[in-house]
Amino acid sequence: NLAAAGPEKFTLEYIQKQVEEYEIGKRHLANMMGEDSENFTQEDIDLFDFIYLFFLLKQICFYFQHPDEIFPKQRAVQWGADGRPFHFLFYTGKQSYYSLMHDLYGKILKIEKHQDRLRAKGLFSQDAQLISLGPSRWLTKEELELLLVETISTHDYDRFIKLMERMLAMPYSSTEEEFVQRYRRQLEAQSMKQMMPPLEKDENGVAFSTAEGRRKTSDSSVILRDCGSGHITINGQDYLQYFPVLQDREQLMFPLQFMGVLGRFNLECTVSGGGRSSQAGALRLAISRALLSFLSEGDGEAMRQAGLLTPDPRVRERKKPGQEGARRKFTWKKR
Amino acid sequence: IDVLTFVSYLGLLGFRYSRAATVASPCGGHHYVTAPSVKPPQPQADDVTEKILNQPLEKPDFFRVAELFSLKDLFDARVHLGHKKGCRHRLMEPYLYGCRLDHDIIDLDQTMEHLQLALNFTAHIAYRGGIILFVSRRRQFGHLVETTAKDCGEYAHTRYWQGGLLTNANIQYGPGVRLPDLIIFLSTLNNVFQQHVGIRDAAKMNIPTVGVVDSNCNPSLVTYPVPGNDDTPAAVELYCRLFKMTINRAKDRRKQMELLHGLSAPTSQTSRYALK
C-alpha cells in the first residue's frame, strides 16, 4: 500500500512517469478487451477481475487506480525562481495551519466589528441566530492533516477546535457558516425508528406481514395473518409436533402474550439451520418484527425495551490451539 | 552604519542565488549545473540595472521617509512611554530622556533619528527586492503584524519560533531555500520576557535586523534599534503603518525606475537579476 508507506519523497518526474504508464496501460487494456480506448473510464477498469488481467497486460506493473490517488499528496516547491516564497507565512514552517488560524481569527474580528456596528445602531440582540450545524462532527486530526497537506500536533489541533468553538459561541456567527461547514463532516443520520415490515393485504382481504429473524445459525421467516384463530404452522407441521418441549413453545408465545394478542394472529413459519433452541429464538425475533406493523408506536417502543427486537449477537466461539475448548485449558500438571 | 556596505553585502548574497535561477540562454533552455558564474546575455540590461540600483545611493534620504512621521505623531501614539524603573535594561539608559514617578520616558529626538535610519534601510532593501520578515511574539498584535506583512507582499512570523528556522534552514524547509534579507522585530521580547531567539540567530546568519526596543529590552545585537514603546496598540499600529508605507513606496519607486529606464515589461527574470 503505497499511500501508507510513510513520508517518502516521490519526485515529480517519478509520479509523472507513473501517470504516463498508467495511461498506456489503460489503452492496452481497452484494446485487449475490444473496448473504445478513447473513452475508457476508471469505472470500466474497476469492473475487471484483477488476477485475470495481470497476465494479459504486457506491462509488469499496472495501477488499477490513477497514480494521484495512490501516491500521497505532496508539496510542490514553495518558492519561485527568484527564491521568494509564495506564501506570506512560509518562514513559520507550518504555513497552511497558521494561515488557517490567521483567517479564522480575522473572521472573529469581523464578527466583533459587526456586533459593534449593530450595538451602535441599537439593534444588537443577544439571542440572534447562532449557526445551525445539524448532525455533524468536527474534522478529525488526520482529515485536517490531509486537507492542509502538512502534519500538525495534537496541541495545534486542539487550539484550532477551541478557536472554532469560540467563534460559534458568538452571536451573529451565522455569517461565517459556509467557512465553518468546510471543517465539519455530516454524521450518518441514526434513525431511532424501527424498521417496520410493510402491512399487506391478500386476496381475501386479510391483513398480513412478513418478517425474518436469525439466531446463532438458524434462519427463520414468519407470515403473520390477522385472522383471529391463533393457528401456528412451522415448516408445514403443527407447532406442538415441531416443538415438543414447552420452553421452545414459550419462546414462540412470548411476543404475542406480552402484547396481549395471543388468539388474534395466524402464524405460518419456516425455519432452517441450528438446533431446537436457536430455531425457537430466531422465530421469536421474526414474530416480534412482524408484529410491529400491527401495533402502535408506544407498543413498539415497549417491545424494544423488553428486548424482543434486539437480535442476539452470541455465536459459538472457536476452539483455540493449545486449549481444550474455546476457554477451557488443558489440565495443569505441576510436574 | 552606512547603507553602502550593507547593500554591497547584499549584492554578494544575491550573487550566490543567481546561479540557482534558470538562465534564458540563447541556445534554447539548456542550463548546465557545472557552469561557472553566469554572464548575463544582455550587457545593456545590466548597465541599466546597475544604474537603477546605484541611483538611490546618491542621496541620503532618497525615499523621503522623514516625511512619513513627525515628533508629534510619535508623541500622540505614546511611543515615549517606557516601563517602570525596576524593569529598565542597563544598555537602554542612553536612549532614555528621563524618569518621572518611576516611569521611564524614552527620548523621542533619538527615536526620530533611529526610526529614520531604520525606515531608510528598509526602503533600500525593499527597493532591491529583498525578503523582509516581520517578527513579533505578542499575541495582542499577531494578527495586525500578519496583515501588515500580507499587505506589503512580505513575510511574517508571529508564532512559536522553532529552533532551527534560520540556522537549520536547508533541512527544515528543503535545499536551496532563500533566507530573509531583513528581519523587523516589532517586539524584541518573547512571551517569557527573554530576548527573542531570532535576534541571536539573525546575527549568526549575518542578517541585518531592525527592532523596536522598549526600556526593558537589550538593544546590543539589533542592527538598527528603534527605542520606543512596544506595548501600546496605538504605537504598534503606528509602526506597522510606517513600515507598510515605506515598503510600498520603495517597491512602487522601483517599478517606476524600471519603466523610466525603458526596461521591457519587468518580467520576473529581470527583477531577479537586480540582486546581483
Cα(A312)–Cα(B116) distance, rounded to whole angstroms? 82
Q: Which residue of A has its CA nearest to B173?
A: A93
Question: What pLDDT does residue B42 have?
Answer: 61
Same domain, A208 and A287: yes
Q: Are the C-beta atoms of A173 and A130 separated by less than 8 Å?
A: yes
Question: What pLDDT does residue A329 have?
Answer: 94
Domain region containing A58: 12-70
Q: Specify the DSSP class assigned to residue A243.
A: -
Percentage with pLDDT > 70 across chain A: 84
Q: In chain A, how many domains are there?
A: 3
Question: What pLDDT does residue A79 have?
Answer: 87
Q: Are the C-beta atoms of B244 and B31 separated by less than 8 Å?
A: no
Most confident segment among A121-135, A180-194, B54-68: B54-68
> Is A89–B155 a contact, with Cβ atoms under 8 angstroms apart?
yes
Question: What pLDDT does residue B88 have?
Answer: 94
Res. B214: pLDDT tops 90: yes
Give φ, ψ of A35 to 5 degrees: -90, 175
- In 3-state terms chain B splits into helix, strand, coil percentages (rounded to 5) of 45, 15, 40
Q: In the structure, what pLDDT confidence band is assigned to residue B78 with cuts at 50, 70 and 90?
A: very high
Q: Which residue has better confidence, B107 or A295?
A: B107
Q: Are the C-beta atoms of B118 and B69 separated by less than 8 Å?
A: no
Same domain, A299 and A214: yes
Let me know if residue A63 belongs to a domain: yes
Q: Rounded to a whole number, what is the distance in angstroms from the first to the last CA of chain B?
A: 22
Let me know if residue A323 belongs to a domain: no
**Chain B residues within 8 A (CB-CB) of chain A?**
17, 20-22, 129, 131, 133, 143, 146-147, 149-150, 153-157, 159, 162, 165, 172-174, 177-178, 180, 268-269, 271-272
CB contacts under 8 A, A 81-140 vs B, are: 81-85, 88-94, 98, 102, 105-106, 109
Question: What pLDDT does residue B100 have?
Answer: 94
Same domain, A241 and A295: yes
Of B153, B155, B269, the CB nearest to A90: B155
Write the pLDDT tens digit of every residue in A223-276. 998 887 888 999 999 999 999 999 999 999 999 999 888 888 899 999 999 999
Of B17, B155, B162, the CB nearest to A85: B155
Cα(A291)–Cα(A254) distance, rounded to whole angstroms? 12
Question: What pLDDT does residue B268 have?
Answer: 45
B44: Cα within 13 Å, side-chain hemisphere: 4
Let me know if residue A191 belongs to a domain: no
Let me know if residue A128 belongs to a domain: yes
> Is A88–B156 a contact, with Cβ atoms under 8 angstroms apart?
yes
Q: With beta carbons under 8 A apart, name residues in chain A contacting B146.
A: 88-89, 102
| CA B42 remoteness from chain centre | 31
CB under 8 Å to B164, separation ≥6 — which residues?
B171, B172
Question: What pLDDT does residue B266 have?
Answer: 47
For residue A263, what is the domain's CATH number? 3.30.230.10
Same domain, A35 and A132: no
Question: What pLDDT does residue B144 have?
Answer: 96
Q: Is A153 on the interface with B (CB under 8 A)?
A: no
Same domain, A209 and A181: no
Let me know if residue A194 belongs to a domain: no
Of A82, A102, A106, the CB nearest to B268: A82
Q: Which residue among A141, A156, A186 closes a domain?
A: A186
- For B187, other C-beta atoms within 10 Å of its C-beta total 24
Q: With beta carbons under 8 A apart, name residues in chain A contacting B21.
A: 81-83
Same domain, A207 and A298: yes
> Is A81–B272 a contact, with Cβ atoms under 8 angstroms apart?
yes
What is the pairing mode between strands B209-213 and B224-227? Answer: parallel
Write the pLDDT tens digit of every residue in A130-175. 777 778 889 999 999 999 988 899 999 999 999 999 998 888 888 8
Alpha helices by DSSP H, listed for B19-60, are: 43-54
Write the pLDDT tens digit of every residue in A36-72. 766 666 666 666 655 455 555 555 556 667 777 777 6
Q: Is A239 on the interface with B (CB under 8 A)?
A: no
Closest by CA position to A10, among listed A67, A90, A79, A80:
A67
Let me know if residue A151 belongs to a domain: yes
- Give the three cell numbers for residue A221: 421467516
Question: What pLDDT does residue B271 have?
Answer: 46
Whether the complex's predicted ipTM is more than 0.90 is answered with no
Q: Are the C-beta atoms of A1 and A65 separated by less than 8 Å?
A: no
Q: With beta carbons under 8 A apart, name residues in chain A contacting B162.
A: 93
Question: What pLDDT does residue A50 have?
Answer: 56
Mind listing the domains of chain B with CATH numbers?
A: 70-261 (3.40.50.10490)
What does each C-alpha distance from B178 to A120, B16, B18 come to in angstroms? 48, 10, 11
Let me know if residue A38 belongs to a domain: yes
Same domain, A160 and A217: no
- In a mutational test of the B interface, the residue from A82, A101, A153, A156 whose CB has the highest number of chain B CBs within 10 Å is A82
Let me know if residue A129 belongs to a domain: yes
CB under 8 Å to B271, separation ≥6 — which residues?
A82, B129, B258
- In a mutational test of the A interface, the residue from B38, B165, B178 whose CB has the highest number of chain A CBs within 10 Å is B178
pTM of the model: 0.67
Q: Which residue among A40, A70, A100 closes a domain?
A: A70
> Is A88–B271 a contact, with Cβ atoms under 8 angstroms apart?
no
Q: Which residue of B has its CA nearest to A105?
A: B143
> Is A83–B131 a contact, with Cβ atoms under 8 angstroms apart?
yes
Q: Are the C-beta atoms of A257 and A286 separated by less than 8 Å?
A: no
